[in-house]
Structures are given as C-alpha cells and as structure tokens.
Chains A and B, each alone.
Chain A
Amino acid sequence: MMEPVVFGLVSAAGVLSALAVVAWGNLVHCVLWLALVLLDTAIAFVILDAPFLGVIQVMLYAGGVVTLMLFAIMLTRRGGGVALRNESDPMRRGPALVISGGLFGLMAWAILGSKSLATSSANIQPNAKALALTFLTEDVLAFEVLSILLLAATVGAIVIARRRDFGGPEPVRFRKEPRP
C-alpha cells in the first residue's frame, strides 16, 4: 500500500530530473541531474522487487558512470571551470519534440489501451538467489558473453584513448581538420 506513494514520488522526480538532463544549460549540472535519474531508477528497482538490480545500479551507475563522466568533462574542457555549456540546437528542438512526443503518444496509447497490462498483478517475485542460479546454470552463455564483452570494451577503450608516449604500436588518430 506504500507502493503507489513511493512510485508516484519516484516517477515524478525521475521524469523531472530526466528533463533537466536533456534541457539544462550546464554540462556538469547535467551529469548531476543524471545521477538523480539513476538513483530514482534504483529506487524503482527496489519497489519492483529487484533489490539486486537496485544495488548494482547504485554501484555501477551512480558510483562508476557518473564519476567517469565527470572525469571526461574535466579532461575535455578549454577553461571555464565548471561553467561548461551544454547547449541544444534550437533548430532541432521542434522536430525532436515532434518525434519524441509522437513516440510517447504511441507507446502510451499501446500501454493504456492494453487490457492485460491494466489488470495484471505481481507474480512470483524473482530474487537475487534465483537470478544467480539462472545466471550460472541455464543462462551461463550470457554470463560468458558478458565477460568477453567487458574485456573487449576495456581493451578497446585503452587502445582508443592511449597516447603515443606510452610506447607500443601507433595509436588511433583522427585526421587534423581546420577549425571552422
């Protein structure tokens, strides 16, 4: 019975901070708004009976991804401190609003029009133990694919961002182009 109240608060805060992520003018503030979206999603996972997902959401995203984003911002700024601008193109706002609004209307029409979704009630609750059992028995292929994916991403990120002065083969380079 607490669930509708918590869900109402979480969804309102989540949608508002997601709007701030896409509309705020300061890039560092955008990342902090994103952290709020991620924490809201973590709470949503907890009320959806997926506490394990909520915990790794906080660890991976709110802890890791946000820090990584802030690092990347600090490494790619030309002065200006934290007052880095994150502007959206005014020419593209109208079409983007039409596309995203139209898609939302279509999805809302499909979701709210479905009778089975409106009457469905929570089923048996999957827990962390069940998740671990599936991950290591039936769906072990997904686990292995994930480990290879993470290894490839790590190697790829190092190779792409590496500078020449660390030795080894020639690093990936963009062709220099004149500033417009």
Chain B
Amino acid sequence: MTMAAYLSFGAALFCIGIYGALTRRTAIGILLSIEVMANAVNVNFATFARYSGSAHTQLFAVFVMALTVAEVAVGLALVILLYRAVSHTNIDEVRSLRH
C-alpha cells in the first residue's frame, strides 16, 4: 500500500466533514461534522507516522485526540447552555451576539 491511498482516504473524510459543517443547521450536527474532520486529520498523522517511522508523529495523533475530546466536552456544554436560553439548538436563529 502506498502512502497516497491513505492520504486520499483522509482527504475524502476531511472534505465530507467540511461539507457537513457548512450545511448543518443544528449545533450538534455541526459538532458531528467536526468530529469527522478531526478523525481525517488523525488518519493522516498515523499515515505519516508509519511512513516516517517516528513515534513523535504518532504523538501528534494522541494530542489531537485529547484536544477533540476536550472540544466535545466544552461544545456540548455550550449546546446545553444554548438550549436552556433559547429552547432550541438551531444556530441560524441565535442572534444574541449580532447587532
């Protein structure tokens, strides 16, 4: 297997995630798309780790995983706070920060 196959898989996942993050209306739907993008990045890191033979590169993947989990925790807390304030999670209709 060449590196290009794995990198193409990662690129496909990333672009699908971008499409979802741009089109979704619910906050949780956008968070799901961001998860897909983070996974694509991790596939790329694991690929580079394998073909460079360095454990440092795998460490990046571990770092990204922990970052994503922290992001999900804070993101879902924000979603719950938003729901308490406006009783829905449709971010198109949230205009508190807009003038």
B is bound to A: yes
Seen from chain A, the residues whose Cβ lies within 8 Å of a Cβ on chain B are 3-4, 7, 11, 14-15, 18-19, 21-23, 27, 30-31, 34, 37-38, 41, 44-45, 48-50, 52-53, 56-57, 60-61, 64-65, 68-69, 71-73, 75-76, 78, 86-89, 92-93, 95-97, 99-101, 103-104, 107-108, 111-112, 114, 117-127, 130-131, 133-135, 138-139, 142, 146, 149-150, 152-154, 156-158, 160-161, 163, 172-177, 179-180
Q: Please judge, given known A-B contacts A4-B1, A44-B6, whether A96 and B83 are in contact too, CB under 8 Å.
A: no
Q: Output the least CB separation between A82 and chain B (Å).
A: 14
Q: Output the least CB separation between B74 and chain A (Å).
A: 5
Residues of chain B within 8 A (CB-CB) of A96 are 18-19, 22-23
Residues of chain A within 8 A (CB-CB) of B78 are 160
CA distance A23 to B2 in the complex (A): 30
For A38, A41, A96, the residue with the greatest tally of chain B CB atoms inside 10 Å of its CB is A41
Residues of chain B within 8 A (CB-CB) of A138 are 56
Query: Does the CB pair A75–B80 fall under 8 Å?
Result: yes
Residues of chain B within 8 A (CB-CB) of A93 are 23
Mask: chain B, 66-99; 1 = CB below 8 Å from A; 0 = not: 1111111110111111111111110011111000
Query: Does the CB pair B63–A153 fall under 8 Å?
Result: no
B12-69 residues with Cβ-Cβ distance < 8 A to A are 12-20, 22-26, 28-29, 31-33, 35-36, 39, 42-43, 46-47, 49-59, 61-63, 65-69
The number of chain B residues with a CB under 8 A from chain A is 79
Q: Please judge, given known A-B contacts A68-B76, A174-B86, whether A15 and B59 are in contact too, CB under 8 Å.
A: no
- The listed residue (B19, B51, B82, B85) touching A120 by CB distance below 8 A is B51
Q: Please judge, given known A-B contacts A21-B36, A69-B72, A131-B62, whether A27 and B28 are in contact too, CB under 8 Å.
A: yes
Q: Please judge, given known A-B contacts A76-B80, A107-B11, A112-B4, whether A21 and B23 are in contact too, CB under 8 Å.
A: no
